[in-house]
Amino acid sequence: MNYRLLIASFMLIAAVYSGGAEAATKEDATKFVSNLSSQALKTLGANNVPLNQKEKNVRELLSHNFDLNLIGRYVLGAAWRKASADQRSQYQSLFKEFVLRTYSRRFGGYAGQAFTVTGAKPIGKKDILVSTKIARPSGPPILAGWRVREKNGAHKILDVVVAGVSMVVTQRSEFRAVISKQGVGGLIETLRMQVTKFSAQSK
Amino acid sequence: MCIFMKKENSQGPISQINFSLRKLTLRKPLLSLAIVSGLLLANLIQTPALADFEAGWTAYQNGNFAKALKEWRVLAKKGDAKAQFNLGVMYDEGRGVKEDRQKAINWWVKAAERKNKEAQHNLGMTYLFGSGVNIDYVKAVSWLKKASNQGSARSQYSLGKMYSEGLGVKKDKTEAFNWIMRAAESGVYQAQYNLGKIFRDGRGVERDAKKAAQWFLAAAKQGYAKAQNHIGVRLARGEGIAKNEVEALKWLMLSEKSGHKLAGQNRKALAESLAPEIVAKAKKLAGEWKAPK
């Protein structure tokens, strides 16, 4: 991933992710991510737990530790301001479902590989980017950065950056493509349909 | 939000074979012996592929995606549509592999060409959303039509919406109505809710307050908050359905509980106009209500 693109992504996020929070400290943010990683390991590494139960546990973990309201608002971009109150509330609940479904499936199958914090640095005015390394049984480790913010004493994740690619920036550009063709109403309808995709089938 | 839909899968062929075996052995012993041997032989020939598929499924359920991929890939290359579909899902969802929409599409196209309706539906959804590929409404409609004609209820709903919005196809209220109706009849709650609105507004069909209320109620019973708000208002006014303030308040309470803000305002206004014992009764009913699984 292009370094300049990465910086540009963060600047873009910084413009929206401002206001209403105290600055997180590196130590607290690191502790939060380490703690989250041990909870994830406990869930994912458990033996004899069926996949759908693991996914449910991951979903819980994600919904408690990600600020999905703020992320959803950012991802909608300029369209948020033009959306009606009813559209905003419909969008937020569909967005949450969409994100939780996507990521609980993506992470639910990890067998609980080692997850080490490799560093932390401030990002934007209030946030800390905690870098981690996730070992894999084969292939190089995954490098993931977690953007953490403290709000009323609680820490929340605002973005995940894997191999230099920001989750929220990617999502935002995908949504923008739908909005440019069909408007916010169309995006809402599209999200409503997306959750009807079939998952793996038994015989 | 959850998806409450009727199961679209039917029982597999093995259970049907077992059923007919039992009937036959009771009647004509010799004939049935011959048929049994034939069937057993056929079963033996089939078993390895089925066993491999099952081995893949078990591995998948245990999160052993590497094994699932290996088992299903062999079958998929031999043309097993379900294995092809499942491989597509693994690439689409990034299970044990790097998420790769193009690979997902390639496997789904193979399965879809073998009339796998789940693959056809997912291809429709993929071109509609465009994540990792270009949005293409014409392709989306073409796959959704194939899945809909094979009876996939959720595809019928999406296809109906494409006709009503004129996406990838010429706007057609009658086609929209027909497909949404079919999905609603199969129990897709979004379709039932939409049908309620179609009858309310008379889009592609005669305006009908009674039918509107009937479909809003069907979706409300499945736990859809928007429909619960609509039917609550209609029951309070006696619009298309007999006036029933207890039921009206119950649905508004349930809708509000699911986070529907407007229902909260409607609930407040209605409750203020009613006697405390009626409110208490509605509260009790709302507390006892359970969404179907």
Taking only residues 186 to 225 of chain B, the set having a beta carbon closer than 8 angstroms to any beta carbon of chain A reads 190
How far apart CA B151 and CA B247 sit, in angstroms, is 34
Residue pair B228/B258 in contact (Cβ under 8 Å)? The answer is yes
DSSP secondary structure letter of residue A66: B
Model pLDDT for residues A30-59, shown as the tens digit of each residue: 999 999 988 888 888 777 788 888 889 989
Residue A202 lies in a domain: no
Model pLDDT for residues B162-190, shown as the tens digit of each residue: 999 999 999 999 999 999 999 999 999 99
Q: Do B118 and A201 touch (CB under 8 A)?
A: yes
Residue A122 lies in a domain: yes
% chain B with pLDDT above 90: 73
The pTM (predicted TM-score) of the whole model is 0.81
Among A110-114, A118-122, A192-196, name the one with the lowest average pLDDT: A110-114
Residue A10 or B196, more confident = B196
Structure tokens at B177: 């109505």
Structure tokens at B36: 């049994």
Q: What is the CATH number for A67?
A: 3.10.450.710
Model pLDDT for residues A64-118, shown as the tens digit of each residue: 999 999 999 999 999 999 999 889 988 999 999 999 998 888 887 776 666 789 9
Comparing CA positions, the residue from B243, B261, B249 lying closest to residue B287 is B249
Range of the structural domain that residue A51 is part of? 3-194
Residue A53 lies in a domain: yes
Q: What is the ipTM of this complex?
A: 0.82
Instruction: Tell me which of B64, B107, B131, B134 to substitute to probe the interface with A (most A C-beta atoms closer than 10 Å).
Output: B131
Residue A87 lies in a domain: yes
Mean model confidence pLDDT for chain B: 87
**What residues of chain A have any CB closer than 8 angstroms to a CB in chain B?**
50-51, 54, 85-86, 89, 93-94, 97, 102, 105-106, 108-111, 174, 177-178, 181-182, 186, 189-190, 192-203
Query: Which residues have C-beta within 8 Å of that of residue B268, sequence separation ≥ 6?
Result: none
Taking only residues 60 to 89 of chain B, the set having a beta carbon closer than 8 angstroms to any beta carbon of chain A reads 60-63, 65, 82, 85-86, 89
Residue B225 or A112, more confident = B225
Which residues lie across from A155 on neighbouring strands?
A150
Query: Which residues have C-beta within 8 Å of that of residue B169, sequence separation ≥ 6?
Result: B137, B138, B141, B162, B163
Residue A79 lies in a domain: yes
Residue A199 lies in a domain: no
Residue pair A43/A162 in contact (Cβ under 8 Å)? The answer is no
Which residues lie across from B17 on neighbouring strands?
none
Q: What is the pLDDT of residue B119?
A: 98
Contacts 24+ apart (CB under 8 A), B200-208: B203/B164, B203/B173, B203/B176, B203/B177, B204/B173, B204/B174, B204/B176, B204/B177, B205/B173, B205/B177, B208/B240
Position of tokens 């939000």? B1
Domains contained in chain B, CATH given: 63-114 (no CATH), 135-186 (no CATH), 188-293 (1.25.40.10)
Structure tokens at B278: 């009626």
Structure tokens at B224: 């859809």
Tell me whether B94 touches chain A (CB under 8 Å).
yes
How far apart CA B109 and CA B120 sit, in angstroms, is 8
Angle at A169 between CA B190 and CA A86, to 5 degrees: 35
Residue A141 lies in a domain: yes
What is the total count of domains within chain A?
1
Model pLDDT for residues B103-157, shown as the tens digit of each residue: 999 999 999 999 999 999 999 999 999 878 899 999 999 999 999 999 999 999 9
Which of B94, B121, B135 is closest, CB to CB, to A181? Answer: B135
Residue A200 lies in a domain: no
